[in-house]
């Protein structure tokens, strides 16, 4: 397997995940927590990659192993499903990411909170009650 630096030099200008809009270069890569097209946040070329996505129960965190056999590519990642309240999920994500990629901790927590917020059902709107004797007659 090529080194991450060489892989980045090859894919930085040509990538199917690259999105250029209004002078900003964004990325749709799995494992890119900030969605910025840069070597630091790249989910393809990095040795240590953290991906946080929505799952049926709550949030799924996928980490790429640093030492991997080329004969078993499916064993190169580990996935953990985290369910529960937002604070418990955030604490679990913090403990999983803190020592693996400490520089991505804030981004991982932000992605987790956005995913869990999108899964909440919206509260129903209260109907306005009319006040006053004249309003009740109508």
Fold of 47-120: Enolase-like; domain 1 (3.30.390)
Those residues whose C-beta lies under 8 Å from the C-beta of residue 89, and which sit 6 or more positions away, are 58, 59, 82, 83, 112, 116
Axis crossing angle, helix 105-119 with helix 86-97, rounded to the nearest 10: 150
pLDDT digits (tens, 9 = 90+) for 34-74: 999 999 999 888 888 999 999 998 999 999 887 877 788 88
Q: Pick out the chain residues at pLDDT < 50.
A: none
Give the domain ranges of the chain: 1-46, 47-120
Please report the DSSP string for 78-106 in residue order: EEEEE-S-HHHHHHHHHHHHTTT-GGGHH
Mean pLDDT of the chain: 89
Fold of 1-46: Enolase-like; domain 1 (3.30.390)
């Amino acid at each position: 397997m090529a080194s991450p630096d060489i892989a980045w030099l090859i894919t930085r200008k040509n990538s199917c995940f690259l999105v250029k809009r209004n002078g900003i270069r964004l990325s749709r890569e799995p494992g890119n927590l900030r969605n910025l097209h840069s070597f630091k946040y790249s989910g393809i070329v990095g040795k240590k990659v953290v991906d946080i996505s929505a799952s049926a129960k709550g949030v799924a965190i996928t980490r790429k192993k640093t030492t991997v056999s080329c004969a078993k590519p499916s064993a190169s990642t580990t996935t953990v499903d985290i369910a529960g309240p937002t604070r418990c999920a955030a604490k679990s994500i913090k403990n999983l990411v803190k020592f693996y990629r400490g520089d991505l901790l804030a981004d991982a927590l932000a992605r987790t909170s956005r995913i869990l917020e999108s899964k909440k059902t919206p509260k129903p709107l209260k109907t306005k009650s009319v006040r006053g004797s004249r309003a009740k007659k109508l």
